[in-house]
Amino acid sequence: MATSVAKKRKYIDGYINYGFTSILADGIEKPQCVLCFKVLGKDSMRPSKLKHHLMTIHPQYAERDTCFFRRHERSLGKQKLDESGAFQQQTVSVVEASYEVSLEIAKQKKPHTIGETLIKPCALKMVKRVLGEASERKIQQISLSNDTVKRRINEMSDGIKEKVIQIKLSPTGMFAIQLDESTGVSSCAQLLVFVRYVFLCDIKEE
Ligand SMILES: [Zn+2]
C-alpha cells in the first residue's frame, strides 16, 4: 500500500477547550496539555486524541469552560517553548530541578551549602553510574551553589508571603479555599490549591 505524506495538522484555537495549547519543539508544532504539561506527538494534533487525553487523564476537568483552561495556559506561559525549542525546555527543567532541590533543603532545614557539597556530587555519581555520561552532563547544568539555593529559597518564601498578604489585605478579609489532589502522568501526586478572595472590590481566584 502506498503511503501518502501525513497531513500536516495545525493547532486550532478551539483546542484549548480540550485543555491543549501548542508548543514548538524542534521546529514542529505539537499539542501540550495545560494541566499536566505533557507534550503529545504531532500526530495527536486532532480533536479526538486531545479529547481522549482530557477524558482519561483529567476526567475531573472535562466539563470546565474555556476560561479555566486559558488560566492554566497562562500559568504555563513561562514554561512554553519558543522558536529555540528544546533548548529552552531543557533550561526550564534545569531551573525547575534547582528550585525543587532548594525546597527540599529548606524543608529538611539543612545548610544551603549541602547542595554543592553533597547533593549534587551524589546525584552526578548516581546518574553517571545508572544512566550514563550524557545524562550526567544534563544534571551538571543544575545549579545548586550556596548562593543559588539561598536565592531560590528566598524567592519561594517571598512568593508565598506576597500571596498571603494580598489575601489578608482584602477589605472583607474573607476568602474561600479549596484543596484537591491529582495524579499526573508521571504518577506524581500534585496538590492543587484554589483560593478565591475579595481584592480591590473584585473577586480574584488563583
Ligand atoms: Zn494532561
Contact by Cβ (8 Å): 94, 142: yes
- Domain borders along the chain are 13-79, 84-168, 171-206
CA of 181 to the centre of ligand 1 (A): 14
According to DSSP, residue 152 is labeled: H
CA 6–ligand 1 middle distance (angstroms): 25
Q: What is the DSSP letter of 178?
A: E
Distance 22 CA to ligand 1 centre (A): 13
- What's the pLDDT at 83? 44
Q: How far is CA 116 from the centre of its chain?
A: 25
Q: What is the pLDDT of residue 3?
A: 44
C-alpha 59 to ligand 1 mean position (Å): 10
Query: In whole angstroms, what is the distance from residue 97 CA to residue 116 CA?
Result: 14
Asked whether the whole model's pTM tops 0.85, one would answer: no
Would you state the pLDDT for residue 60? 87
- Ligand 1 centre distance from Cα of residue 176 (Å): 26
Q: Compute, in angstroms, the gap from residue 129 CA to the centroid of ligand 1.
A: 32
3: its cell numbers? 503511503
User: Ligand 1 centroid to 138 CA: how many Å?
Assistant: 25
Distance from residue 200's CA to the centre of ligand 1 (Å): 34
Q: Would you write out the chain's pLDDT as a tens digit for each of its 206 residues?
A: 444 444 567 888 899 999 999 887 777 888 989 888 888 988 899 999 999 999 998 988 888 888 889 888 877 765 554 444 454 555 678 888 999 999 999 999 999 999 999 999 999 999 999 999 888 988 988 989 999 999 999 988 888 887 777 777 666 667 788 888 887 677 777 888 888 887 767 788 88
What is the pLDDT at residue 170?
65
* Ligand 1 geometric centre to CA of 134 (Å): 28
Closest among 70, 59, 149 to 111, alpha carbons compared: 149
pLDDT at res. 37: 81
What pLDDT was estimated at residue 169?
66
